[in-house]
Structure 1
């Protein structure tokens, strides 16, 4: 039987992006959605979904609850994020291209894991399905919205648009569209009709809605929301509440857990933008901070996805609440 929480969150995210897709003719007719403010807002709204990464290993493994393991995790996480930020400063063009590739893999495997956990079955990511879910948010805007996307890329890394030649973008687009088609057909044949429309929805959204709005909405209302729903299930202290259908206490618990790390990330971003001697533009600074956090986050999520899906086992006394 599918997990109720993930089933509802998945339906809500699909409805949100489906509504945006339905409004795409009006959005384009009135010239809406082009502002980078939509992108920045969506990225910031989705920021908390990775803010409890430092707690996840302790939820999943008894060994990770020991103090040395927790300290090691924080040090390694910060070091990898710092290395990512340094890479953006030292070689922004290559760093941005690498970030785009990592994003495709991360977005795709996240959706595969979400559906597997929703249906309580093992996670088995294949190349086609990963590209079908992870490719549209990255590849389609790069290929079909060059006039809008290239100035954003150039603001982050001046030579990045030149590295992504027309041939590279066309080949990537053809590959992603093939993956979307193959995945949809396979899901229909497997009887998963409700899932077959999801990669088609993503392809339609990013093909018709201006990329700043489409990416911002996807990151906040699809990727981040689905990941937060999985995190609520992974926290052992939420087991009793979720089993009883109580969503409020787990959400409040997550908000408390994510508050401090989110504030730290936002403060770091504000410092980059407003520091008197080293002021940075908001968009490049936001992308650089997000990219720096994405690599350790993606590695940690990949580690989580290797574990069997299903409800977590409580670590405290039965019925214990915090």
Structure 2
């Protein structure tokens, strides 16, 4: 047997947490939000036969309601950079960020007016990327591990809410697309939809296999759940429920962790005060967005249909929101100096001891 040399340094065991020798425990808040979203959409999937038999779920009102209920999840975007920064950002910097954010959203709204075909197709692509990377980042932050975004995982999580309805529910999806841009349903050919669906299903197989090998059984079930949901539940109801009860719910949970003022409450398991704080922070931006939507729908002489107007407003807000969330995911998670959380290191960088 080999004998260790005197004074030799023992080999360090690989760490599964940042700088620790033991696996990091999943974040309780994010684990709870993930479980709640799984049960919500799983319950809806279980009711799919009854929904189909009763002919429910096809009304665009479900879609509009879900989109509006999920609107507050992006209402505090202008505060996030300060939460994740180790230094205090002056008020002019915050105002400048809000102005740029509003300008980008306004440009998106103008794009829907000037070139609705390109804007709508671009919005669908951005939605796939945004939904997919959001779930990947959510899992990583929940488990306190680095975020590693892959094409397969992005498509596996972001593809079902967009691609599956486009491919399997043309009779219900195309009228909604045509209300926003009459030419888009014809531009997205049947062959394109079939190829996109096959690509997403292949990505789901790869992602599920990877999660099973890593021992993440519940994560492996999520892409399967999403494909089943959007394949069996009418898209207006499925998309509305997904946006409000899955995507927005998980993002709000992440935001609660990002706000440094919530650290003490969350450490003791109190979620009520952080939720009330978030509600106060999101109230004014949400009201302003709803007022802008109402103005588009009711403005004398320039009234717009509620569905395409809602779609255009939310699509315009998605562009700066998705960009800021991508920056947040790259930057890390949790306020600076949070015990057990902290800013996650960038991929390929070392954490200083």
TM-score after normalising by structure 1:
0.96
Partner residue of 1:56? 80
CA RMSD, aligned part only?
1.0
Distance in 2 (CA, whole Å) between partners of 1:8 and 1:245 is 11
Matching residue within 178, 190, 200 for 1:166? 190
Partner residue of 1:306? 330
Matching residue within 65, 81, 86 for 2:105? 81
Q: Is the 8 A contact 2:136 2:154 kept in 1?
A: yes
Where in structure 2 are the equivalents of 1:55-134 lying within 5 Å? 55-62=79-86, 65-134=89-158
Q: Which residues of structure 2 form unaligned runs of 5+?
A: 1-24, 339-353
Q: Is the 8 A contact 1:83 1:292 kept in 2?
A: yes
Q: Is the 8 A contact 1:34 1:210 kept in 2?
A: yes
Distance in 1 (CA, whole Å) between partners of 2:298 and 2:43 is 36
| Per-residue CA distance 1:129-162 (angstroms, 9 max, x = gap) | 0100000000000000000000000001110101
Partner residue of 2:273? 249
Partner residue of 1:187? 211
Matching residue within 295, 317, 321 for 1:297? 321
SS at match of 2:144: coil
Q: Is the 8 A contact 2:259 2:334 kept in 1?
A: no
Matching residue within 250, 256, 264 for 1:232? 256
> Does 2:311 match 1:279?
no
Rg bigger for which structure? 2
Q: Is the 8 A contact 2:84 2:335 kept in 1?
A: no
Partner residue of 1:317? none
Aligned length: 314
SS at match of 1:54: helix
Cα offset for 1:311? 5.7
Distance in 2 (CA, whole Å) between partners of 1:60 and 1:308 is 8
Partner residue of 2:32? 8
Cα offset for 1:100? 0.2
Cα offset for 1:312? 4.5
Partner residue of 1:213? 237
TM-score after normalising by structure 2:
0.87
Q: Is the 8 A contact 1:235 1:312 kept in 2?
A: no
Distance in 1 (CA, whole Å) between partners of 2:190 and 2:266 is 49
Q: Is the 8 A contact 1:116 1:309 kept in 2?
A: no
Which has a greater percent of helix?
A: 1
Distance in 2 (CA, whole Å) between partners of 1:313 and 1:33 is 46
Partner residue of 2:201? 177
Matching residue within 151, 155, 158 for 2:175? 151
Distance in 2 (CA, whole Å) between partners of 1:261 and 1:104 is 25
Distance in 2 (CA, whole Å) between partners of 1:86 and 1:44 is 21
Distance in 2 (CA, whole Å) between partners of 1:51 and 1:91 is 26
Distance in 2 (CA, whole Å) between partners of 1:64 and 1:175 is 44
Partner residue of 1:46? 70
Q: Is the 8 A contact 2:84 2:334 kept in 1?
A: no
List structure 1 segments (4+ residues) > 6 angstroms apart after TM superposition: none
Q: Which residues of structure 1 form unaligned runs of 5+?
A: 315-322
